[in-house]
Structures are given as C-alpha cells and as structure tokens.
C-alpha cells in the first residue's frame, strides 16, 4: 500500500463521516414530530452511541 492510497482512503472516510454528520444535523433540525414519524430518534436511542450525549439536547 502506497502513501497516496493511504491518504486517499483516509480522505474518503473523512468525507463520508462529514456527510453523515451533516445529514444528522439536517434531520435534527426537523420538528420532533416529523423525526419521530421517519424513525430518526431510534438511531440515537442506542445505549453505546458516542453521539447520543451530543445530540440529546435541543439544537437551536
């Protein structure tokens, strides 16, 4: 594995992570009733979720 392929792999993972967090922020900006209808709160209900504490508070 070359250095360039390692950098490319890391960049791909970074872009995917940013896209996921951006999607979470967009979903969390929706009203609670709508999030409940689409089942989004179930993702945050996992007991070992690292981001549960971060996203459990209301975002303004």
The residues, ordered by sequence, that sit 6+ positions from 28 with a Cβ below 8 Å of its Cβ are 35, 40, 55, 59
In which domain, by residue range, is 12 found?
Answer: 3-55
The reply to whether 28 falls in a domain is yes
The reply to whether 11 falls in a domain is yes
The reply to whether 60 falls in a domain is no
Which tokens go with 34? 């709508």
From the first residue on, what is the mean pLDDT of each consecutive set of 10 residues in the chain (60 residues)?
Answer: 90 96 91 86 55 51
The reported pLDDT for the residue numbered 47 is 54
Q: pTM (2 decimals)?
A: 0.56
The reported pLDDT for the residue numbered 26 is 92
The reply to whether 43 falls in a domain is yes
CA distance 50 to 53: 7
The reported pLDDT for the residue numbered 18 is 96
- How many distinct structural domains can be found in the chain? 1
The reported pLDDT for the residue numbered 1 is 67
DSSP 39: T
The reported pLDDT for the residue numbered 10 is 96
Cβ(55)–Cβ(24) under 8 Å?
yes
């Amino acid at each position: 594995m070359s250095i360039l392929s390692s950098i490319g792999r890391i960049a791909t993972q970074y872009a995917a992570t940013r896209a996921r967090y951006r999607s979470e922020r967009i979903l969390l900006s929706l009203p609670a009733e709508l999030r409940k209808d689409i089942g989004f709160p179930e993702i945050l209900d996992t007991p070992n979720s690292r981001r549960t504490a971060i996203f459990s508070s209301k975002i303004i």
